[in-house]
Amino acid sequence: MLHTFVAYVEDLPGVLTRVASLFRRLNININSLTVGRSERVGLSRLTLVCEASSEAGNRIRASLFKLENVVDVDDIAKDPAVTRELALIKVAATPSNRSQIFDLVEVFRARIVDLTSESLMIEMTGVESKIEGLIEVLREDEGRILEICRSGKMTMRRGRHISSVLKAMGAAPDEVAEPDADAAETVEEIIPTEPE
Amino acid sequence: MGTIDQTLAANAHLITPTRLTGAEIVWATLVGEGVKDVFGYPGGAILPVYDALRKFPIHHVLVRHEQGASHMADGYARASGKVGVAIATSGPGATNLVTGVATAMLDSIPIVCITGNVSSKILGTDAFQEVDITGITLPVTKHNFLVNRAEDIAPAIRSAFQIAVSGRPGPVLVDITKDAQQGTAIFDFAAAKPRPYRPHPMLRVEDSGLAQAAELIRNAKRPIILAGHGVSESGAMEQVRTLAERAQIPVALTLLGLGNFPASHPLNMGMMGMHGEAWVNHAIQEADLLIACGMRFDDRVTGSTSTYSLKSKKIHIEVDPAEVNKNIKIDVALIGDLREVLEQLLPRVSSRDGADWIKTIETSKGAVAVRDIKNLPDSGHLYAAHVIHDIWRITGGNAIVVTDVGQHQMWEAQYFHHEHPRSLITSGGLGTMGFALPAAIGAKFACPGKEVWVVAGDGGFQMTAAELSTIVQEAIKINIAIINNGFLGMVRQWQQFFYESNYEATPLVSPDFVKLADAHGIAGRAVHTRAEVVDAVAEARSAPGTFLLNFLVEKEESVYPMIPAGSALHEMIRRPVKDPLVESPDDK
Ligand SMILES: Cc1ncc(C[n+]2csc(CCOP(=O)(O)OP(=O)(O)O)c2C)c(N)n1
């Protein structure tokens, strides 16, 4: 099954190697990995997607936690979450056949972010399947796609959720004070939003 | 060790923040962590550290190969429970440590290795003797540090000590660039204290789990406690014993668990697994409840997992959440420090009658039990089993035995009855040949008052025999028993059983070990017959210095019983019946 791990890791040299090495050792291919700053100073947040057996999920999470620089790990394969990916796609387009692509971009709710006499660049944010849909349509014209750059998945649980680990660490410096002490904090109490 | 001046100066540094060189900070921090002895080997990239040693009250043991340094640190840690420290230079010095680091990793042994590296300005340039040792050791350390500033040295070393001993222990490596050693910083020991230890967030001992475990114990008809290395790591010997005695549950031990439950205890069944007693493995297959305490269902213990103890419920008490449900499906997981968990569990366990099950196990010992090794007539041959058995008898079991890896290791486990934790030091997880001699040196430094025996094969002994010089230079006394069968015995046994006795690359020519010892200034004696064993062991013990016994044993003897790798636990290869030797001793 597809696992999606979200982890907070210390923003230090070599931390990514330690995380990646764990999957390498298990001979698990990492489908995608995105890393960037989080709401907490000194902590990066990563989303890692990989294919592994359902039993492996717990052990991978436990093993990730054993890494000194890993602060928190969440396995959100099945829980309600918002997932997005960003893609930049460069396609060959001349003034004479551009308009066809403009239409496509409109339909997929993507954007044109660069335009030259020979090419244009499309930026698209969305779930994986939508990005794949756009790429598929563009591929119908052979030789049209010049470059694709995809960010990999980013995932965030829906609703107000905080792990016990992050909770124990206290609020992030710029996190606003809780308006209501009894506010829903568990996955169960999350307000359902429209699925993708 | 160290002079009073050194000690006073070092203690002053610990209290008053002082500007020191990075090299001095290394030693000052080690002093602060309570280190008395370190095992190491110098070289260019660690020379500033060596130069600063004279100012500090720490004894440095010069090894003959850096693998020896990491094994000595390991033996030191296993014997004492304290962190062992190894030091090496960059490049080849650092890579030579790796086998010892991996050995410590697989057996969860707390050691700290300090390596020098080239200056930070030329890191990554393939400079002379530069190697990416943090990269190399990443999968075989619990954690490692690359330090390139003097001010980061003390915090890194202090964290290393904390990480090495906390939770499930393990090795930590601190790689320090030469410019960091040469630079200066304010040494503030207190301020370098690591952040509080963060327990693994998936530790979980719930009331419901404890209740379930107690319920399973209450209703079990055929329960067994499986006790492993975690028992001594967590200091839970008393708690395991209380559980066993109160609920009358027999105890089986892993190789690294030997000594964690007294061999002489009536509830002690003996060792489980590949070369475990037949009745122990049969009992595990028949059990209706396994209570695994600080053990990880290693493949050498389970045999085939798909046929492992299918009739039993399993309770797993374990400090590492990644071990639970890894190899064997668990019914009740109590994930936490073994001693703490047992202390919570014991009040819920009441006394129980286990007589029927214990009797069943006793009966299953059958013929094995009556063919006692002591009663066999002397056939003129020398068997390793007799040697080990006699060492056990003569020392009264009151020795630290450090084994190498192979047949002799298994015979030690079978014929030396360990009463106390930390009395058997052996490489279980990695199975590292060459471990015994250096690890014994480390153990002797940890416990100078204890009698230390090396039990090694002729093959493994030669892998690290250079450390004989270290013994002489340090003027320490250990006793060395080489079980010399002229073969890489354990591999020969596999060839005999599984490769049609095609003895490829296992017959082994060795030097005359007594002469080799003599060349080092170490006394020794060759032993050819069973009749000489007692006298030889006594001579070694009473000799003032290290003494080497070269036991020329039967060449093609095998370890029985044996579960072929990947077979079911009950599918054992038994000793052919016409053979005069018993397959297991029963004379505890
Ligand atoms: C470093 C290393 N290399 C190879 C092995 C594989 N191996 C396991 S046991 C063994 C034979 C050991 O022979 P010896 O030291 O003579 O001991 P014996 O089995 O005869 O008691 C070998 C080669 C190992 N465990 N460690």
Rounded to whole angstroms, the Cα distance separating B244 from B397 reads 23
Q: In this structure, is residue B582 part of a structural domain?
A: no
Residues B73 and B97 in one domain: yes
The tens digit of pLDDT for each residue in A119-141 reads 999 999 999 999 999 999 999 98
Which residues of A are less than 8 Å from B146 in CB distance? 13-14
Q: In this structure, is residue B201 part of a structural domain?
A: no
Band of pLDDT at residue B375, cut at 50, 70 and 90? low
Pick one of 3.50.50.60, 3.30.70.260, 3.10.20.30, 1.25.40.20 as the CATH number of A2-79.
Answer: 3.30.70.260
Is B200 near chain A, with CB under 8 Å? yes
In this prediction, residue A182 carries a pLDDT of: 45
Q: In this structure, is residue B409 part of a structural domain?
A: yes
pLDDT at B543 over 80: yes
Q: In this structure, is residue B569 part of a structural domain?
A: no
Rounded to whole angstroms, the Cα distance separating B360 from B370 reads 16
- Give contacts of A 155-174 with B, CB under 8 A: 164-165
The tens digit of pLDDT for each residue in B222-244 reads 999 999 999 999 999 999 999 99
Kindly report the CA angle at B71 between B385 and B151, in degrees rounded to 5? Answer: 160
Which residues of A are less than 8 Å from B163 in CB distance? 68
pLDDT at A180 over 80: no
Q: In this structure, is residue B316 part of a structural domain?
A: yes
Residues B213 and B119 in one domain: no
Residues B238 and B283 in one domain: yes
In this prediction, residue A77 carries a pLDDT of: 74
Rounded to whole angstroms, the Cα distance separating B181 from B321 reads 38
Rounded to whole angstroms, the Cα distance separating B110 from B98 reads 15
Kindly report the CA angle at B45 between B42 and B49, in degrees rounded to 5? Answer: 65
Check B322 against A21: CB less than 8 A apart: no
Tell me, yes or no, if the pTM score tops 0.90: yes
Question: Most B CBs within 10 Å: which of A61, A66, A165, as the mutation test of the B interface?
Answer: A66
Contact at 8 Å (CB) between B404 and B435?
yes
pLDDT at B571 over 80: yes
Rounded to whole angstroms, the Cα distance separating A2 from A63 reads 18
Q: In this structure, is residue B460 part of a structural domain?
A: yes
SS3 category, B456:
strand
Q: In this structure, is residue B379 part of a structural domain?
A: yes
The tens digit of pLDDT for each residue in B53-63 reads 999 999 999 99
Contact at 8 Å (CB) between B248 and B352?
yes
Band of pLDDT at residue B583, cut at 50, 70 and 90? low
The CB density around residue B398, as the number of other CB atoms within 10 Å, is 11
What are the Cα distances from residue B533, in Å, to B124, B369, B374, B382, B384?
56, 24, 14, 9, 11
In this prediction, residue B364 carries a pLDDT of: 87
The tens digit of pLDDT for each residue in B163-200 reads 999 999 999 999 999 999 999 999 999 999 999 999 99
Rounded to whole angstroms, the Cα distance separating B152 from B157 reads 9
Contact at 8 Å (CB) between B484 and B510?
yes
Residues B356 and B483 in one domain: no
Tokens of B138: 């990443």
Peptide bond into B561 cis (omega under 30): yes
Residues facing residue B480 across a β-bridge: B454, B548
Share of chain B above pLDDT 70, in %: 96
Contacts 24+ apart (CB under 8 A), B233-238: B233/B108, B233/B168, B233/B169, B233/B294, B233/B319, B233/B338, B234/B294, B234/B319, B234/B337, B234/B338, B234/B339, B234/B340, B235/B339, B236/B293, B236/B294, B236/B338, B236/B339, B236/B342, B237/B261, B237/B421
For residue B68, the CA-to-ligand 1 centroid distance in Å is 17
First-to-last C-alpha distance (Å) of chain A? 20
pLDDT at B586 over 80: no
Residues B174 and B254 in one domain: no
Tokens of B260: 């964690």
Sequence letter at residue B338:
L
What is the atom index within ligand 1 of the atom nearest the CA of B434? Answer: 1
Asked which of A176-180, B46-50, B274-278, B569-573 is least confident by mean pLDDT, the reply is A176-180
pLDDT at B264 over 80: yes
Residues B401 and B421 in one domain: yes
What is the atom index within ligand 1 of the atom nearest the CA of B461? Answer: 15
Band of pLDDT at residue A47, cut at 50, 70 and 90? very high
Q: Check if B102 has its Cβ closer than 6 Å to any atom of ligand 1.
A: no
For residue B506, the CA-to-ligand 1 centroid distance in Å is 9
Q: What is the 3-state secondary structure (H, E, C) of B159-193?
A: HHHHHHHCCCCCCEEEEEEHHHHHCEEEECCCCCC
Check B200 against A165: CB less than 8 A apart: no
Band of pLDDT at residue B350, cut at 50, 70 and 90? very high
Q: Read off the CATH number of the domain in which B169 is found.
A: 3.40.50.970
In this prediction, residue B579 carries a pLDDT of: 53
Q: Check if B32 has its Cβ closer than 6 Å to any atom of ligand 1.
A: no
Is A100 near chain B, with CB under 8 Å? no
Band of pLDDT at residue B373, cut at 50, 70 and 90? low
SS3 category, B104:
helix
- From B12, B79, B66, B185, select the one nearest B444 (Cα to Cα): B79
pLDDT at B585 over 60: no
Q: In sequence order, which residues have a C-beta less than 8 Å from that of residue A163 and are 6 or more positions away? A: A72, A74
Please tell me if the domain spanning A2-79 has the same topology as the one spanning A82-150.
yes
pLDDT at A186 over 90: no
Q: Check if B406 has its Cβ closer than 6 Å to any atom of ligand 1.
A: yes
In this prediction, residue A176 carries a pLDDT of: 47
In this prediction, residue A168 carries a pLDDT of: 84
Rounded to whole angstroms, the Cα distance separating B310 from B455 reads 36
Tokens of A86: 């960003």
Active site residues of B: 66, 128-129, 178, 490
In this prediction, residue B345 carries a pLDDT of: 98
pLDDT at B209 over 80: yes
Domain boundaries, chain A: 2-79, 82-150
ipTM metric:
0.92
Question: Most A CBs within 10 Å: which of B108, B117, B138, B173, as the mutation test of the A interface?
Answer: B138
pLDDT at B380 over 60: yes
Tokens of B423: 């009395």
Check A62 against B325: CB less than 8 A apart: no
For residue B205, the CA-to-ligand 1 centroid distance in Å is 41
Contact at 8 Å (CB) between B43 and B129?
yes
Cα B311 vs. chain centroid, distance in angstroms? 32
Residues B391 and B423 in one domain: yes
The tens digit of pLDDT for each residue in A5-38 reads 999 999 999 999 999 999 999 999 999 999 999 9
Q: How many domains does chain B have?
A: 3
Residue span of the structural domain in which B533 resides? 370-552
The sheet carrying B251-253 orders its strands as B268-271, B251-253, B223-227, B289-293, B313-318, B332-335
Residues B335 and B449 in one domain: no
Is B163 near chain A, with CB under 8 Å? yes
The 8-class DSSP code of residue B204 comes to B
What are the Cα distances from residue B470, in Å, to B95, B297, B463, B521?
20, 37, 15, 11
pLDDT at A171 over 90: no
pLDDT at B291 over 70: yes
Question: Most A CBs within 10 Å: which of B134, B146, B149, B202, as the mutation test of the A interface?
Answer: B202
- From B303, B349, B310, B309, select the one nearest B562 (Cα to Cα): B303
In this prediction, residue A189 carries a pLDDT of: 35
Tokens of B95: 């890579």
The CB density around residue B172, as the number of other CB atoms within 10 Å, is 29
Residues B491 and B545 in one domain: yes
What are the Cα distances from residue A128, in Å, to A32, A125, B555?
11, 9, 65
The H or E element that residue B217 is part of is: helix B207-219
Rounded to whole angstroms, the Cα distance separating A23 from B277 reads 38
Measured between CA atoms, how close is B505 to chain A, in angstroms?
31
Q: Read off the CATH number of the domain in which B332 is found.
A: 3.40.50.1220
Band of pLDDT at residue A185, cut at 50, 70 and 90? very low
Q: In this structure, is residue B575 part of a structural domain?
A: no
What is the atom index within ligand 1 of the atom nearest the CA of B463? Answer: 1
Check B321 against A72: CB less than 8 A apart: no
Class of domain A82-150 (CATH, top level): alpha beta
Residues B249 and B154 in one domain: no
In this prediction, residue B365 carries a pLDDT of: 84
How big is chain A by its Cα radius of gyration, in Å? 20
